[in-house]
Amino acid sequence: MTRRPDSPIEHAVPGRFEGQTAIVTGSTRGIGAGVAKRLAAEGANVVISGRTADAGEAVADEITDGIGAGEATFVRADMRDPEDIAALAEATADEFGGIDVLVNNAAVQTETAADEATIEDWDFVLETDFRAYWLAARATLEHMDRGAIVNVSSNHAYSTMPAHFPYNAVKAGINGMTRAMALDVGPSVRVNTVAPGWVEVERTREELPEGRLAEVESIHPTGRIGVPADVAGAVSFLASPDAAFVTGTSLLVDGGRGAVMQDDTLPDYRARED
């Protein structure tokens, strides 16, 4: 079993983003907070963003109090609101003079199937997980001379489970969006996707009943599910000069799960014919 990183900054590369500024959307907790801490530990000024001020300011304070070499600040933004997205980019540029990295991470999902999802479900997910990625990129590009955009997708872009619509459709769409952006904004800005698999965050723990975590870990070739630090390391790499020749692609960060055929999440379709 591969060892879990103890924290998002365990393998940080000091000075990697020195003098640069990064926005991480949906970074008040979970994967986004882990990414923000990793970029800060590598020297970036980091803008934490989300809808909950107390949680966002707590992440910014944690960075300022010892993690970051640069500065950290919180800007409240609802990613369903185009005006909030534009204001987020403007506030960042005003504070730090420009933007070098955008990490599109904010996301929601509904537990609905394709034949039962409502228009409200559709709008809720697409406006947050898809439209906002485009709007954030467009707003940020106005303040980027060069740099990188990393879109956080999911392994649901490649294979999925029942009752995850339209989340799974959107995640596949993000990969297409990444390719389109990479072609349209290169060579000065690179655009890539990170597609995490199972990651132990608050939502995952709620979804896995007691005892189920060990079972899920057992079907991963790494012997464990991920933690935010695993995703943060991949995001940092794609945003850094180490990935200078990487754009328009998606990096699956799933502990090898995508290499496994596992069908125990599916219903017995034979029974539906009775």
pLDDT-derived band of residue 259, with 50, 70 and 90 as boundaries? confident
Round to whole Å and give the CA distance between 242 and 69: 20
Q: Which of 187, 183, 259, 185 is nearest to 222 (CA)?
A: 259
User: What pLDDT, in 10s, does the model give residues 32-89?
Assistant: 999 999 999 999 999 999 999 999 999 999 999 988 778 999 999 999 999 999 999 9
- Tell me, what's the pLDDT at 214? 81
Does residue 177 carry a pLDDT above 90?
yes
- Tell me, what's the pLDDT at 262? 59
- Tell me, what's the pLDDT at 265? 62
More confident residue, 152 or 13: 152
Does residue 206 carry a pLDDT above 80?
no
- Find all residues with CB under 8 Å of 131, minimum gap 6, and list them: none
- Tell me, what's the pLDDT at 208? 75
Q: State whether residue 105 is helix, strand or coil.
A: coil
Region of poorest pLDDT, from 53-57, 177-181, 269-273: 269-273
Please state the rounded mean pLDDT for residues 214-237: 90
Please state the rounded mean pLDDT for residues 222-228: 90
Are 151 and 135 contacting, i.e. CB atoms less than 8 angstroms apart?
Answer: no
User: What pLDDT, in 10s, does the model give residues 118-162?
Assistant: 999 999 999 999 999 999 999 999 999 999 999 999 999 999 999
The share of the chain scoring above pLDDT 70, in percent, equals 93
Round to whole Å and give the CA distance between 92 and 103: 13
Tell me the angle at which helices 167-185 and 119-126 cross, rounded to the nearest 10 degrees: 40
- Tell me, what's the pLDDT at 215? 81
Q: Which domains does the chain have, with CATH numbers?
A: 21-201+227-253 (3.40.50.720)
Round to whole Å and give the CA distance between 92 and 74: 10
- Tell me, what's the pLDDT at 212? 81
Please state the rounded mean pLDDT for residues 162-175: 96
- Tell me, what's the pLDDT at 264? 65
- Tell me, what's the pLDDT at 269? 47
Catalytic positions, written as ranges: 167
Q: State whether residue 96 is helix, strand or coil.
A: helix
